[in-house]
Amino acid sequence: MHYRPLGNTGLTVSVAGLGCGGNSRLGLGRGASFDECVGVARAAIDLGVNFLDTAEAYGTEEIVGAAVKAYDRDKLVISTKALFKEGDTAETVTRKVEASLKRLGLDHVDVFHFHAVGPAAYEHHRDVLAPALLRLKEQGKVRHVGLTETGPRDPEQAMLSRAVEEAPWEVVMLAYSLVNQGARTRVFPVTARRGIGTLLMFVVRNIFSNDAYRRAVFAKLVEDGRLDASVLAGGDDPLAFLVAEGGAASITDAAYRYARHEKGADVILFGTGNRAHVKANIESILRPPLPAPVVERLHRTFGHLSGVGLDLPGPVKA
């Protein structure tokens, strides 16, 4: 495993982080038992993953809590999140943090995020809710304060572009992939300058793992004029070159490697409910960068797109 600093937090994190939500939710999404889900999390930790991200909304905090009991807590970085709405108060923040700690069975979390904050809700989170989180930080219940964007509902990253310029955010979670590259110019230069840790989600979604769905998405992008028809000249899959010319084992492999080696990326989140897939995902994240000409082609062809590949968890039909 490779490790790196998480911004200026002082935390050292694995570049591969286990995301405990998404379609899989550690296996809950396919009906796996509690113990099977715990086994998925422990398989990741045994391979060197020390960053685990869960959330109240995922329903996996208890699983993470059970999984980490077998390890040295000081060597793990646990991140969780909660959703807040207009009208929620400082008391709501305290109650939700305490509830998360109880479900996790921990006396503190390393990062607590405001979950899926949209542009219209940002000021309420910053001005009303964040002071309560900072008080919990003073009490030692939360080590670092973060927030996550709602990629599918804010594809231009209006909220995050504002938040990374302001206090008190120490860590942010954002959508980034080889067909959703906006953070290269909107976010990463600022997080690097200000020492804000970055957690990358939506790195691999159905657009990379579902061939029929991917072809349908790209055909629609061409039809809508968002991609030049020339991208289909070699066939109906504009990403096939990643395997044929880029030397990637698969398009999913290429997607992980692209994000991992983007300047400004700290943790690449992957999710799975299958223990066998844990190893494969980590191996992709740890492989060398894609060849420079391939990365340049990705930037040239897809760099202008936004909001592509940001499908929410759930079944996808091509």
C-alpha distances out from residue 182 to 123, 254, 290, Å: 23, 18, 19
Distance of CA 35 to the CA centre of its chain: 24
Q: What is the pLDDT of residue 317?
A: 41
Domains belonging to the chain, first-starting first, are: 3-302 (3.20.20.100)
- DSSP label of 232: G
Q: pTM to 2 decimals? A: 0.96
The angle formed by the CA atoms of residues 119, 122 and 126, to the nearest 5 degrees, is 165
Cβ(318)–Cβ(216) below 8 Å = yes
Helices and strands (H, E) in the chain, number of each type: 14, 10
Distance of CA 169 to the CA centre of its chain: 16
Tens-binned pLDDT, residue by residue, of the chain (318 aa): 999 999 999 999 999 999 999 989 999 999 999 999 999 999 999 999 999 999 999 999 999 999 999 999 999 999 999 999 999 999 999 999 999 999 999 999 999 999 999 999 999 999 999 999 999 999 999 999 999 999 999 999 999 999 999 999 999 999 999 999 999 999 999 999 999 999 999 999 999 999 999 999 999 999 999 999 999 887 789 999 999 887 899 999 999 999 999 999 999 999 999 999 999 999 999 999 999 999 999 999 999 999 999 987 654 343
Cβ(282)–Cβ(253) below 8 Å = no
Q: What element of type H or E holds 201? A: strand 197-201
- Distance separating alpha carbons of residues 72 and 218, to the nearest angstrom: 46
Q: What is the pLDDT of residue 313?
A: 65
86 phi-psi bin (left φ>0, alpha ψ -120 to 50, beta other): beta
Dmax (CA) of the chain: 59
Q: What is the pLDDT of residue 189?
A: 98
| SS3 label, residue 294 | helix
Q: What is the pLDDT of residue 316?
A: 39
- Distance separating alpha carbons of residues 78 and 18, to the nearest angstrom: 10
Q: Are strands 267-270 and 51-53 parallel, antiparallel or unpaired?
A: unpaired
Q: What is the DSSP string of 142-177?
A: EEEEEEEE-GGG-TT-HHHHHHTTSTT-SEEEEE-B
- Distance separating alpha carbons of residues 221 and 214, to the nearest angstrom: 11
Distance of CA 221 to the CA centre of its chain: 24
Q: What is the pLDDT of residue 235?
A: 79
- Distance separating alpha carbons of residues 176 and 251, to the nearest angstrom: 15
Beta bridge partners of 171: 146, 197
- Distance separating alpha carbons of residues 145 and 93, to the nearest angstrom: 12
Q: What is the pLDDT of residue 234?
A: 74
C-alpha distances out from residue 37 to 63, 72, 141, Å: 7, 20, 26
Cβ(20)–Cβ(42) below 8 Å = no
For residue 139 the two structure tokens come to 């009490």
Sequence letter at residue 64: V
- Neighbouring residues of 224: CB distance < 8 A, sequence distance ≥ 6: none
